[in-house]
């Protein structure tokens, strides 16, 4: 029985093992999907009156970050009913910032209006 049998495959693995994997990106996701879900549930729980159990259930069981993204409108409606639209908008804007690195570029909110200022159709 040879314990130290030279092996080409073992040698290649040994060489590759010494190559360090690339360092992870310096930008680590600040918020996880669960952090976003919890923030949405806290907003719903803090709304005056009874928060919609349907919206709460939909947030709780959303399958991914995109589903949570699309539920922002429902959360906004519940918050606006309890706090007023201006306060609800501020809370939703804070929530929207949490989605920063989680969504494809096409799903992010537009920073401004669709048309150029001063040009109306």
Task: Pick the closest to residue 81 from 46, 49, 53, 55 (CA basis).
Answer: 49
Model pLDDT for residues 47-76, shown as the tens digit of each residue: 876 668 899 999 999 988 889 999 999 999
**For the chain, domain boundaries:** 33-104
d(CA 78, CA 88) in angstroms, rounded, equals: 9
Model pLDDT for residues 74-88, shown as the tens digit of each residue: 999 999 988 889 999
CB atoms within 10 A of CB 95: 21
Average the pLDDT over 88-105 and give the result: 84
- pLDDT for 114 beyond 70: no
Q: Are 68 and 58 in contact (CB under 8 A)?
A: no
Average the pLDDT over 103-111 and give the result: 62
- pLDDT for 40 beyond 90: yes
């Amino acid at each position: 029985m040879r314990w130290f049998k030279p092996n080409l495959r073992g040698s290649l693995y040994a060489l590759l093992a010494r190559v360090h994997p690339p360092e992870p990106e310096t930008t680590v996701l600040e918020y996880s999907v669960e952090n976003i879900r919890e923030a949405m549930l806290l907003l719903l729980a803090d709304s005056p009156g009874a928060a919609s159990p349907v919206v709460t259930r939909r947030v709780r069981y959303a399958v991914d970050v995109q589903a949570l993204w699309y539920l922002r409108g429902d959360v906004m409606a519940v918050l606006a009913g309890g706090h007023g639209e201006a306060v609800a908008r501020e809370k939703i804007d804070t929530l929207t910032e949490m989605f920063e690195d989680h969504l494809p570029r096409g799903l992010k909110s537009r920073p401004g209006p669709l048309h150029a200022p001063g040009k109306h159709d």
